[in-house]
Copies of this chain bind each other. A is one copy, B any other.
């Protein structure tokens, strides 16, 4: 059920999008379910125009989808849009753990050298 993000969406764009407190708050609200543009504006205390601009940024980086039915534009979270960021964090963790393993091997080898040396 998780949609894949549009190809070519960079982690940089996702991070820049989420670094804005209003856009982060929009994502937090939408994770509780789809809603209209106007009901996003009220609790954030920002204009409809500002919400529309934030939504455009979030849509462009694959985190939000909006759909106009009649006169109402409904916004939903695209949970798959987090995948590039999640993958980036996983990659940092993997590289860090590989490095830690290499350090472990280095100390084990060093230990056996000391053993032989006695």
The chain A residues found within 8 Å of chain B, CB to CB, are: 1, 11-12, 15-16, 18-19, 21, 24, 27-28, 31-33, 77, 79, 82, 85-86, 89, 91-93, 95-96, 99-100
Q: Which residues of B contact A21 (CB under 8 A)?
A: 12
Q: When the two chains form the complex, which single residue of B1, B32, B79, B93 contacts A79, counting CB atoms closer than 8 Å?
A: B93
Residue of B nearest to A34 (CB): B99
**Chain A, interface SS category:** helix
| Chain B min CB distance to A85 (Å) | 7
Q: Which residues of B contact A92 (CB under 8 A)?
A: 27-28, 31, 77, 79, 82
Q: When the two chains form the complex, which single residue of B11, B32, B82, B89 contacts A93, counting CB atoms closer than 8 Å?
A: B82
Q: Is the CB of B82 within 8 A of A33?
A: no
| Chain B min CB distance to A12 (Å) | 6
